[in-house]
Structure 1
Amino acid sequence: MTSLLFFCGHAGTGKTTLAKKLLGPLMRASAQPFCLLDKDTLYGGYSAAAMAMLTGDPNDRDSPLFLEHLRDPEYRGLIDTARDNLQLGVSAIAVAPLSREVRERRLFDRAWLGIGEDITLRVVWVHTSDEVARQRIVARGDPNDAYKLANWDDYRQRRFVPNDDIRGELLMFNNTAPSGADHDALLERLIGDAGAPPVTLRPLPV
């Protein structure tokens, strides 16, 4: 059985680092081939070229223009690429913020994802405090984060912690200072309960 695993969370939470750390152990423990699909690696260069042409700022990832016209195609392309791999028998780890999709529970909607019940589906929400995230964003020095840092008080209002209605559907992982035991426990949740029944979606409020 192939697996589709999402590592989601806001900037600076360390979701890519966590996914890379678990990739090898996941393949060994599950005896499955996995591919790692990071949204920024897949689409960062393309979006930078598009934004440079449209606004003159290749690092703009927070303007209304980007959020309205390029955000969703990036995410759809990520999911489509993951599905192509699944159809070839290769499990996929997809790394991206996907905060809106988590909040709307779309990542648990197999019809929206275009996958069947034969795919093991897990969604990890990687989180840490706003201050730790900010320190990590500063340390990595990514030009795409310039707006976030310059407008931190405004940006942090877009960051959210999943509420109780959503948390029951997520694998929550505090990535502030995880131990080896924490990584092992997450690994077990990702592959150890693969036979668990699929999540039953509750209807979204109108």
Structure 2
Amino acid sequence: MSASAPRLIVFAGHAGTGKSTLARIAIPRLHAATGESFCMLDKDTVYGAFSSKVMGLLTGDPDDRDSPTYLENLRDQEYSGLLDIARENIALGVNVVLVGPFSREVKSRRMFDARALGMPEDTPIRVVWVALDEAEAKRRIVARGDHRDRYKLEHWDEYRKRRFDPNPVEFPELIRYDNTHRDPARFEALLAALR
């Protein structure tokens, strides 16, 4: 357990931006630099099979992760559960890395407030907004061929209306990371900001 309060690190952003990949590359580097443990909680890993089962029962479409039915009945419960697991790990002295869109939580500023998240008040929070141009994000979503993206791709015009691009002036605490190209210097700067 580290001498300082355990950290909550969030890789947030829209589908196809590379949040999970970036987190998986960052965590071993953070561990090597700090000697601390990090628990990674990726929303798709934690809730993928569960949500498929529930959406199959609700709508007949286990791949649906973007319809009004999902957004109104399951989305917030998934995020609440992730935060509950994160809270338990932080209480045990383990740093937590959360991966998921978290757009509502960022937009409402809840993601920057340890108390609003139910975390200990001294929990340092770092939120990385992984940004990518919409056309490139869509290209990557198509290329990865994940069945859970089918509904989103079939209803792209509706999905794109909800894409939120946080203004750096309005969200100065957000660590914005353009993931269009791998840039070693920018990645090193990101790691330094997360330590």
Q: Which residue pairs with 2:119 in the alignment? A: 115
Contact 2:114–2:122 under 8 Å retained in 1: no
1:133 to 126, 130, 137: 137
Q: Which residue pairs with 2:49 in the alignment? A: 45
Unaligned runs of 5+ in 2: none
In structure 1, the residue corresponding to 2:142 is in which secondary structure? helix
Contact 1:105–1:166 under 8 Å retained in 2: no
CA distance in 2, matches of 1:51, 1:33: 34
CA distance in 1, matches of 2:80, 2:121: 20
Shift of 1:168: 0.5
CA distance in 2, matches of 1:113, 1:122: 13
In structure 2, the residue corresponding to 1:153 is in which secondary structure? helix
What does 1:1-206 align with in structure 2 at a 5 Å threshold?
A: 1=4, 2-191=6-195
Change (3 A) 1:92 1:119: same
- 2:115 alignment partner AA: A
Shift of 1:131: 0.9
CA distance in 1, matches of 2:70, 2:121: 34
- 1:125 alignment partner AA: W
How many residues are paired up?
191
In structure 2, the residue corresponding to 1:92 is in which secondary structure? strand
TM-score by length of 2: 0.94
Shift of 1:9: 0.1
Identity of aligned residues (%): 52
CA distance in 1, matches of 2:54, 2:151: 17
CA distance in 1, matches of 2:67, 2:184: 39
CA distance in 1, matches of 2:35, 2:132: 31
In structure 2, the residue corresponding to 1:111 is in which secondary structure? coil
Contact 2:43–2:100 under 8 Å retained in 1: yes
Shift of 1:28: 1.3
Unaligned runs of 5+ in 1: 192-206
Shift of 1:166: 3.4
Contact 2:11–2:99 under 8 Å retained in 1: yes
CA distance in 1, matches of 2:48, 2:79: 12
- 2:22 alignment partner AA: L
Contact 2:7–2:90 under 8 Å retained in 1: yes
